[in-house]
Amino acid sequence: MEGGCFCGYVRYRVGGPPADETFCHCSICRRTSGAPAVAWFTVPVSDYELLAGEPASFRSSDHGTRSFCPRCGTPLTFRSDRLAGEVDVTTCSLDQPERVPPRTHTRAASKLSWLRLGDGLPVHEEARQV
């Protein structure tokens, strides 16, 4: 599968099957995206290949680094020092996000009170179980 940012500067390819497809409701995801939740999926770092452009990145927590397009701001990835072999990719930066629907909600303890979940997916109050 391939994806990239809104303006097309950054392009990437992911191989292998996606895992841990989720909607994250943490305050950091909300603030860095400007959205009430962010859909993510996980692949091994070895299955994430940058095809074009050079994302910018910043440390968003004591263990996490996020990447984004330096031109248009599209959020692209999240990497945790605690899970060094994995990279989380924003589902909606895929060219075909319909191929990777979320299977859970994580960090629901931080969910906005006005957001109603009615999709029937499993809800985890905190992080996914590793």
What pLDDT is attached to residue 17? 94
User: Tens place of pLDDT for every residue, the chain, 130 residues?
Assistant: 999 999 999 999 999 899 999 999 999 999 999 999 999 999 999 999 999 999 999 999 999 999 999 999 999 999 999 999 999 999 999 999 999 999 999 999 999 999 999 999 999 999 876 5
Domains of the chain: 2-110 (2.170.150.70)
pTM, two decimals, is 0.93
What pLDDT is attached to residue 81? 94
| SS3 at position 64 | strand
What pLDDT is attached to residue 45? 96
Query: Under a CB-based contact definition with an 8 Å cutoff, are residues 109 and 125 in contact?
Result: yes
Structure tokens at 53: 């452009």
Query: Concatenated DSSP letters for 73-103?
Result: --EEEEEEGGGTTEEEEEGGGBS-GGGS---
